[in-house]
Amino acid sequence: QVQLVESGGGLVQAGDSLRLSCAASGDTVSSFGMAWFRQVPGKEREFVAAMSWSGGSIIYGDSVKGRFTITRDDAKNTAYLQMDSLKAEDTAVYYCAAGGYLSSVRLTFISTYPYWGRGTQVTVSS
């Protein structure tokens, strides 16, 4: 079992940066892919970024390419999402997820991830 806790969300202005953290406890996540999704009330959960367990595959959603960066520190059992040049449309609850055990496929699919955090709110004012 893996427990995930996100942190680092908050209220910022357009153009600012934020770094989200996802701390894992329980089993080590070094063998799992890590991903970030986001959701706005009334809309489906949207894929943001993912990194495979090996770090060899990194994928970003089209809306965040060039602005967001996903990293992981397996020694700290933590994943990060660096968000730069934030826009009002980035406002959402951001969720961390772990899954894709020893795999590099289907990293953008919600169904790949059995473990989820409770989310952290990011609000970007324009």
Contact 38, 20 (CB under 8 A): no
Per-residue pLDDT at 27 exceeds 90: no
pLDDT at 1 over 90: no
**pLDDT value at residue 5:** 98
Which one-letter DSSP state was computed for residue 109?
A: -
* Per-position b or e across 82-99, b if 16+ CB within 10 A of its CB: ebeebeeebbbbbbbbbb
Using 50, 70 and 90 to split pLDDT, how confident is the model at 12?
A: very high
CB 1 within 8 A of CB 113: no
What pLDDT was estimated at residue 26? 85
- Which of 29, 21, 42, 24 minimizes the C-alpha distance to 122? 21
Average pLDDT over residues 14-31: 93
Confidence of residue 6 (pLDDT cuts 50, 70, 90): very high
